[in-house]
Structure 1
Amino acid sequence: MGEENISITNFLKQRYPMLLVDKVVDYNDKSTKTIKYFTNSDPFMLGHFKDFPMYPAVLLVELLAQSISFSIYKKLGTLDNIWFLSINRCHYYGYFVPGDIA
């Protein structure tokens, strides 16, 4: 499969700059693979550490939630009354800087 960002806006309510998923690469009943291109033009990079810009970890959680939301929408056909209210035991073992792709 390969759905471009334009079609993602049909599923997700977020819009720029909070629409973080750049592309859906693959989708099936058990998994969704999305891509995010990290660039200096992301508004979040401008103020997140002057000498070593890195993507804020809290936005990585949002990116994950958007990917999961896409999966839920494709499975249920709706996102009404679906809310992510907490996350437990979230650990980061690295970081993303401009030029990275995840």
Structure 2
Amino acid sequence: MKILPHRQPFLFVDKVLELTKTHVVGLKNVSMNEEFFKGHFPGAPVFPGVIQIEAMAQTGGILVLSTVPDPENYLTYFLKIDNVRFRSQVMPGDTIVFRCDLMEPIRRGIAQMKGVGMVGEKVVVEAEMMAQIVKVKDNETTTIK
């Protein structure tokens, strides 16, 4: 929460396990108490794929924002998601461990990452993501150059 601007109910990273200059590992405990399980799907809850991607992106955002000296003054915006694959369902009670690796150095505020989400030894989701680091200044945003 010191790095990410997200807050409940839209904060999907519970803990950062590892953070280096080129990768981050974070986890999300999937709880039946999550609001979206009321409708996805009643009687057969499945953790929505779109929220898995968001949780992976937030994990990557921690990596990207850790590269600036004052992360509280920056946001990361999704630019692109490619090669998304959902390999297995994620259910309440599961813990997803996300690993995001930079695919190349961050240039001009653009970060490209490969993310993988695992439950135990099983890959459940993977994607390539591109995001832009943007400085927030008095309710305006400025692109890093």
C-alpha displacement at 1:46, in angstroms? 1.6
| Structure of greater relative contact order (alpha carbons < 8 Å, 6+ residues apart) | 1
Q: Is 2:90 aligned against 1:90?
A: no
With normalisation by structure 1, the TM-score equals: 0.84
Paired amino acid for 1:92: F
Task: Choose from 87, 97, 100 the match for 2:94.
Answer: 100
Number of equivalenced pairs: 94
Larger mean CA deviation between 75-84 and 47-56 belongs to: 75-84
The structure where strand makes up a greater share of residues is 2
Task: Choose from 30, 44, 52 the match for 1:52.
Answer: 44
The structure where helix makes up a greater share of residues is 1
C-alpha displacement at 1:89, in angstroms? 1.9
Contact 1:40 1:46 in 2 (8 A): no
Q: Is 2:63 aligned against 1:71?
A: yes
> Percent identical across equivalent pairs?
27
What are structure 1's unaligned runs of at least 5 residues? 1-8
Contact 2:65 2:74 in 1 (8 A): no
SS at match of 1:50: coil
**1:63-87 Cα shifts (integer Å, max 9, x gaps):** 0110011001112233636311221
Q: Distance in 2 between matches of 1:98 and 1:54?
A: 7
Paired amino acid for 1:100: D
Equivalent in the alignment of 2:74: 80
Larger mean CA deviation between 52-61 and 68-77 belongs to: 68-77
With normalisation by structure 2, the TM-score equals: 0.60
Q: Once superposed, what is the RMSD of the aligned Cα atoms?
A: 1.5
What are structure 2's unaligned runs of at least 5 residues? 97-145
C-alpha displacement at 1:10, in angstroms? 1.8
> Which of the two has higher C-alpha Rg?
2
